[in-house]
Amino acid sequence: GTTNNHWWPNRLKLELLSQHSEKSNPLGEGFNYAKEFKKLNYSESKNDLLKVMTDSQDWWPADYGSYAGLFIRMAWHSAGTYRSGDGRGGGGRGQQRFAPLNSWPDNVSLDKARRLLWPIKQKYGQKISWADLMILAGNVALESCGFQTFGFGAGREDVWEPDMDVNWGNETEWLAL
């Protein structure tokens, strides 16, 4: 299929050095996400998500007073890149915050959802990864709409650089305008 090299043939190919190396992780080798997540006040973080979800912003007004639909869509599209054929993609590493995923036509306006989550990420820091926060926001949004979830399973550690092994399929022309 078509790869990133097709779309951006002149970019510097640093992934040849190492993809997702410990050196690219600003948290250092000793960081233990599972240990940090245990320090998270889970119910407080869910309440904070509910508050953000119903606090309409002038720069992107909420539909009918709630960002629930936007958060559900963000979580869906985060998880939707998973490929059962080789186990790559999905919401497990917070890739949606990096190019090229963040600019895919299907992900239009999801930058606004992540912007809404930024104060929560700042508040809880490394106690919750971006990957977990995006999926938890979707879970909380579903629950706020009356959907009964099976709960939330944490443990998605962030990566700090985009995947360079994205398979673009057979397209040879960018579909977005």
By C-alpha distance, which of 152, 173, 165 is closest to 81? 165
DSSP state for residue 30 in the 8-state scheme = T
The string of pLDDT tens digits covering residues 19-44 is 667 777 899 889 999 999 999 999 99
Q: How far apart are CA 55 and CA 153, in angstroms?
A: 26
Q: How far apart are CA 173 and CA 167, in angstroms?
A: 14
pLDDT at residue number 18:
60
Residue ranges, the chain, pLDDT below 50: none
Buried b (16+ CB within 10 A) or exposed e, 60-74: eebeeebbbebbbbb
Q: Which long-range contacts (CB under 8 A, 24 or more apart) does 15-21 make?
A: 15/164, 15/165, 19/161, 19/163, 19/164, 19/165, 20/159, 20/160, 20/161
pTM of the model as a whole: 0.83
pLDDT at residue number 71:
98
The string of pLDDT tens digits covering residues 137-154 is 999 999 999 999 999 999
Whether 77 is a known active-site residue: answer yes
pLDDT at residue number 91:
81
Catalytic member of 73, 77, 114, 156: 77
